[in-house]
């Protein structure tokens, strides 16, 4: 009998046909799209405008420099958002009439900061607060830009935490309280560790999106990657600098997204194993 190759062992007759069909259709679709772009009447002009190797090299240092500012802003945002969000989520999940004002404040916070488009919040804080000239408040646009990000993102993230807290069975809270733990102790030792584990994938998705939204702070004149690319474009009337910025963002966000996916599926596998 003829030995079957590894491929045919993997794919039975039907599977092989399917794979072939998928390959052919992919080639047709993507090949068609590429051909459409390359044969478009103005392709050569666009290529010079967006894909110029000369401009790529020339823009690279300034854009990379700017990207380091993105990294710095991202760092400060990542330091504040999880803490702020957790405080809001805790405030919102406290029970009893004594905590009513705290709960109301937390609800107002999430409603307001989730309700304002991020770009408007950046404008309002970045351009609105420094002219007030209040002593003690910094006027650094970096500070106000990160504050805007933190306010908006912490409101969203607080809701993610809260969904995680709600997903922990009520019986876990009961048995923690039954041990004589206070409400805060029950949250800290029994509820939150499980709640946070529930929402790690959702939190990591927020990180991916935050990483890109840092670029919005360019509107405050911060010379981060997008702003640097814009300046280069203004000087040379060539868009290739944007391509540099795009590639830099992708270099961070694609691995991050892959990691989130990997973590999520590993977590799911572990849970379904535990359920058996």
**Least distance in Å: CB of 174 to other proteins?**
5
**Least distance in Å: CB of 97 to other proteins?**
12
The residue among 197 and 235 lying less far from other proteins, judged by its C-beta, is 197
The residue among 187 and 229 lying less far from other proteins, judged by its C-beta, is 187
Q: 3-class SS at 181?
A: coil
The residue among 68 and 189 lying less far from other proteins, judged by its C-beta, is 189
Residue pointed to by tokens 């002009």: 45
In angstroms, the Cα distances linking 271 to 57, 199, 257, 267, 275 are 48, 13, 21, 6, 6
Residue pointed to by tokens 């709600």: 166
- Residues in contact with other proteins by the rule CB under 8 A: 171-172, 174-182, 185, 189-190, 193-194, 197, 274-275
**Nearest CA among 139, 164, 194 for reference residue 85:** 164
In angstroms, the Cα distances linking 103 to 106, 112, 220 are 5, 14, 33
Cα–Cα distance, 122 to 143 (Å, whole number): 11
Cα–Cα distance, 192 to 173 (Å, whole number): 10
**Least distance in Å: CB of 269 to other proteins?**
14
**Least distance in Å: CB of 98 to other proteins?**
13
**Least distance in Å: CB of 178 to other proteins?**
5
Residue 161 and residue 86 in contact, taking contact as beta carbons nearer than 8 Å: yes
The residue among 172 and 253 lying less far from other proteins, judged by its C-beta, is 172
The residue among 1 and 275 lying less far from other proteins, judged by its C-beta, is 275
């Amino acid at each position: 009998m003829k030995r079957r190759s590894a491929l045919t062992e993997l794919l039975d007759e039907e599977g092989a046909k399917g794979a072939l069909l998928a390959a052919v259709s992919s080639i047709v679709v993507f090949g068609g799209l590429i051909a459409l772009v390359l044969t478009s009447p103005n392709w050569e002009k666009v290529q010079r405008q967006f894909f110029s190797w000369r401009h790529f090299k020339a823009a690279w240092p300034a854009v990379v420099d700017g990207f380091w500012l993105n990294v710095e802003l991202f760092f400060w945002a990542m330091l504040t958002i999880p803490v702020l969000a957790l405080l809001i989520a805790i405030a919102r999940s406290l029970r009893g009439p004594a905590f009513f004002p705290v709960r109301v404040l937390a609800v107002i916070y999430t409603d307001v900061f989730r309700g304002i488009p991020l770009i408007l919040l950046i404008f309002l804080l970045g351009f609105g607060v420094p002219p007030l000239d209040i002593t003690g408040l910094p006027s650094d646009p970096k500070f106000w830009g990160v504050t805007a990000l933190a306010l908006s993102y912490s409101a969203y993230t607080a809701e993610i935490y809260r969904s995680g807290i709600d997903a922990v069975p009520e019986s876990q809270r009961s048995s923690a309280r039954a041990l004589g733990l206070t409400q805060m102790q029950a949250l800290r030792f029994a509820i939150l560790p499980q709640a946070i584990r529930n929402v790690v994938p959702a939190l990591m998705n927020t990180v991916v999106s935050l990483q890109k939204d840092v670029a919005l702070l360019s509107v405050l004149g911060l010379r981060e990657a997008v702003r640097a690319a814009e300046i280069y474009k203004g000087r040379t009337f060539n868009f290739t600098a944007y391509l540099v910025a795009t590639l830099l963002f992708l270099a961070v966000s694609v691995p991050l997204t892959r990691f989130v996916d990997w973590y999520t599926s590993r977590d799911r596998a572990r849970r379904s194993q535990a359920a058996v």
